[in-house]
Amino acid sequence: MQIDQTTYADLSVFETGDEFCLFNKLDQTRTVGGRTQLYQIFNQPFSSLEKIRETQQILSIILRNESAWGTSISNGTVMVMERFYDTPIDKIPLGYDPVSARMYKLLHTPDYSLTRYSIGHFADFIRGMKSIASVAGTEPCPPVLAALLQRVEGLLNHEILVSLAKRKSEKKLSPSEVVQYGYFIQNRFKSAALELIGIFAKLDAWYSMAVATSQYRLSIPEFIHTEGPFIEVTGLYHLLLTAPVSYDINMDPESNFVFLTGANMAGKSTFIKAVGCALFLAHLGMGVPAVRMKLGLFDGILSNINVVDNLVKGESYFFNEVQRIRNTIIKISDHKKWLVLIDELFKGTNVEDAMKCSSVVIRGLIRIKTSLFILSTHLYEIGEELKSFPNISFKYFETNVKGDQLEFNYQLKDGISNDRLGYLILKREGVVDLLDKT
């Protein structure tokens, strides 16, 4: 699934400045490697129904076996293991008879202490990986997970590792055991250990996705085969809000364009981003913030929300808006399935010019039935001339005015809003009074 950096930023998928992001919200990884793997997953949403459903199945398996999913492994565990291999420890002897072991302890005290300390973490890691691998024996696993668990079993199939895993963690290691386990770990286990750490990073990323889906009560979306783009969502909300209001939205080729109006702060941008985020998460194989979601497979998401000017290049806000729309049209002309999100089209020019430009763009976009469009605007006047198009639906967010106070219910309704409350907001915030006093 294609998502460019502008869309990632518009949807707050990753951190930009002080703004809290989707990735940080959902990151439940326990290791640095797991976080890196999760970051890669978020950067590569799937374009295959097979991969999406495979991931959904993996997350379900993890949630059913969460207690077995490497609970003894922490980031500290992995760090100690990696540090052991990065530290120039004196060679541990092959012989682990009591005399040789005590001589090593006496003559190489710092290395002996580090080895003994590290062995405990290696044991925790091995126990955790064995516990995860045992899941393969409890239920069928999709091929990608089955192959990893089988590889884990193979890498841990050595009598010394089996013995180490069976040791009780509270039992103190004897010098002979320190030398025996230490020699094996130092000389025969390094490549396998590093490979297992890499495997755990992948498992940890899936674990994070599964736990986040459960913790935030996300629902697993249902993907269906469709010829055209399709979204049907009940109870959709924005995951980054502390007290979100839910929406219902249905879009398909026969109703593929939402013309969204409403006053500033009424909820237009939040709604647009909520739809984009849900579609994005669905294509990761994760749960989505909604009661139910059905959708077809999409080829990409494009947004035009937070356009900025470029002082270095001497490019105006309006010029960059035009360039973004131009690039969007070029992209979606491939007749693939796109979700296009546009918030306040042509804010960088005067109202009359914006109305003319918006009308031209909307009339062109509305003919593209292979994509879904959600476009918000203050220019409610152009809505009347668009009512002749059968595939456009008109939605708005209502604002109630009581005295100088505004009330937002954030409910998505059918129709067109002609609310323009800029002056009222200016007055409510005391700007008018301040100007009168100057």
Q: How confident is the model at residue 312 (pLDDT cuts 50, 70, 90)?
A: very low
Q: How confident is the model at residue 349 (pLDDT cuts 50, 70, 90)?
A: confident
The reported pLDDT for the residue numbered 313 is 45
Q: How confident is the model at residue 421 (pLDDT cuts 50, 70, 90)?
A: low
Q: How confident is the model at residue 20 (pLDDT cuts 50, 70, 90)?
A: confident
Least confident segment among 81-95, 196-210, 286-300: 81-95
The 10s digit of each residue's pLDDT in 121-147 is: 999 999 999 999 999 888 899 999 999
* Mean pLDDT along residues 256-279: 90
Boundaries of every domain in the chain: 31-215, 222-437
Top-confidence residue, 355 or 152:
152
Least confident segment among 201-210, 226-235, 263-272: 263-272
Residue 387: Cβ within 10 Å count: 11
* Mean pLDDT along residues 10-29: 87
Q: How confident is the model at residue 314 (pLDDT cuts 50, 70, 90)?
A: very low
Q: Is the pLDDT of residue 19 over 80?
A: no
The 10s digit of each residue's pLDDT in 273-284 is: 999 999 999 999
The reported pLDDT for the residue numbered 308 is 57
Least confident segment among 41-55, 259-273, 355-369: 259-273
222-437 falls under which CATH superfamily? P-loop containing nucleotide triphosphate hydrolases (3.40.50.300)
Question: Torsions phi, psi of 331, nearest 5?
Answer: -60, -50
Q: Over the chain, what is the mean pLDDT? A: 89
Among residues of the chain, what percentage have pLDDT more than 90?
A: 67
| pTM, full prediction | 0.90
